[in-house]
Structure 1
Amino acid sequence: MTDEKPRDVALASGVRPNGQPIHELWLRITIDRKLNVVDAEASSDWVPYPGLCQASNPAYRALIGLNLLHNFRRDAARLLAGTAGCTHLTELCAILPTAAIQAFAGDVWDTGDKAAGESASSENESADGTAERLNDKPPFQLGRCQALRFDGEAVQKFYPRWYGYAPRPADRPASPDNGAARQEGRGNAPGMLDGSGNEVQSNSQTEGNHA
């Protein structure tokens, strides 16, 4: 996250000249194929209180062991509540599940429309050799937004096999934070990806394996 003002800004710690960020913060996590956080790191390159704001960076190691799909936002908010962390870095946690899904859709989740029984190419096989496209289930992204609703024009045009489909709960992979929360009866929580540990990085944009 980068915060710049188009003018000189008088801070308690001194004047921050036009062109120099008030904040430049990074939150980086490394996850496995099951979306477990195996490493986490925070960095505060520009802050309004130099040498002081950075003291909260180690707190984000607490994200290690959480799962992006199972109550991640709730657990991150609990672990980093109050004065434990930086307000802005903690807010970045909320986008990590979505960033991971967008960065790796097709690698971990099936986003294609190959019918059961059709052969899958090697590039569409998962790391353990399982051809995920052989599952006769709708592509992961369908039924999750207005454009890709099962009775919509986009599904009718691009995924005709699934037009009018009425999914059962068992047919749908868990969305971020929802699956485990419902199973545990706790309600919805206000809230990457391979064996080698690709890195998900939260900043102002998603690029490649970084988010």
Structure 2
Amino acid sequence: MPLSSPVSRQLRHRRAIRAEAYERADGLWDVEACLTDEKPRDVELASGVRPNGQPIHELWLRITIDRKLNVVDAEASSDWVPYPGLCQVSNPAYRALIGLNLHHNFRRDVARLLGGTTGCTHLTELCAILPTAAIQAFAGDVWDTGDSNGGTRGASAGSGDESSNSTGEHSNDKPPFQLGRCHALRFDGEAVQQFYPRWYGHAPRSADRAASSGEGGNASGMNDGSGNEVQSNSQTEGNHA
């Protein structure tokens, strides 16, 4: 259902985040993410007036991953920034993403390696969408998301959850990785009954339930569904820098 009709209002700011994934000729995958901030008016910044139509931020991240979600290359580019020539200095820091795995504590490792004054607030924030973007790219292409007994290869992962196993594969005694990770794909739900009937009413093992619910805890009290910590947006909101 669409959102309800808003009251009379005026656009003051637009932030857009997009991600694209590419399968490379060498068998690796590129995931590119872009964040832009724009205001529909001239903006007075510390570095001068930013005219209407020119972004405050246009920031790019590209990671190259293998089929096990290991980051084998990474680069950042800050094309539009509020402090030209200064914000770009931290771009090389994002080479620190090399060697991380998108499925194993990625957000926690990003916060440890690139948080605070080490990196750019918004590039580090942009890192958070990379795991689920890669999962969606792999679903139905690298990973079979259908039921191993009669399911259709190529179905969408739907949940966008990054709680698959390290290869995204499932055997005959395990449900497709996306099941049991969100409300729509709960094992006692209509979607599973209709599209994955063999797994309707399935009771995951206690270890699987713990992985799905993120049990085990973290310092922030937040997780992404696979035990990985999620940085609160409250740490980065309201910052033009």
TM-score range, shorter chain: 0.7 to 0.9
Q: Which amino acid aligns with 1:163?
A: Y
Aligned to 2:38: 4
Indicate conservation of the 8 Å contact 2:148/2:176, yes or no.
Answer: no
Aligned to 2:48: 14
- Unaligned 5+ runs, structure 2: 1-34, 155-168, 220-226, 231-241
Indicate conservation of the 8 Å contact 1:137/1:171, yes or no.
Answer: no
Which one of 187, 190, 195 corresponds to residue 229 of structure 2?
Answer: 190
Return the alpha-carbon distance in structure 2 between the equivalents of residues 189 and 99 of structure 1.
16
* 1:26-175 equivalence runs, <5 A: 26-115=60-149, 135-168=172-205
Return the alpha-carbon distance in structure 1 between the equivalents of residues 202 and 57 of structure 2.
47
Whose helix proportion is higher, 1 or 2? 1
Return the alpha-carbon distance in structure 2 between the equivalents of residues 70 and 134 of structure 1.
21
Question: Tell me, what secondary structure is at the counterpart of 1:94?
Answer: helix
Question: Tell me, what secondary structure is at the counterpart of 1:24?
Answer: strand
* TM-score normalized with structure 1 length: 0.74
Return the alpha-carbon distance in structure 2 between the equivalents of residues 157 and 85 of structure 1.
46
Return the alpha-carbon distance in structure 2 between the equivalents of residues 60 and 71 of structure 1.
17
The 1:159–1:189 alpha-carbon spacing in structure 2 relative to 1, beyond 3 Å, is closer
The percent identity for this pair of structures is 84
Return the alpha-carbon distance in structure 2 between the equivalents of residues 100 and 169 of structure 1.
27
Q: Which has the higher contact order (CA 8 A, sep 6+)?
A: 1
Return the alpha-carbon distance in structure 2 between the equivalents of residues 134 and 90 of structure 1.
36
Return the alpha-carbon distance in structure 2 between the equivalents of residues 163 and 5 of structure 1.
48
* Cα deviation 1:54-87 (Å, max 9, x = unaligned): 0010000001001111111111100012111000
Q: Which amino acid aligns with 1:59?
A: A
Return the alpha-carbon distance in structure 1 between the equivalents of residues 147 and 114 of structure 2.
40
Indicate conservation of the 8 Å contact 2:170/2:177, yes or no.
Answer: no
Indicate conservation of the 8 Å contact 1:41/1:60, yes or no.
Answer: yes
**Number of paired residues?**
174
Q: CA RMSD in A?
A: 2.8
Return the alpha-carbon distance in structure 1 between the equivalents of residues 65 and 181 of structure 2.
24
Return the alpha-carbon distance in structure 2 between the equivalents of residues 170 and 38 of structure 1.
30
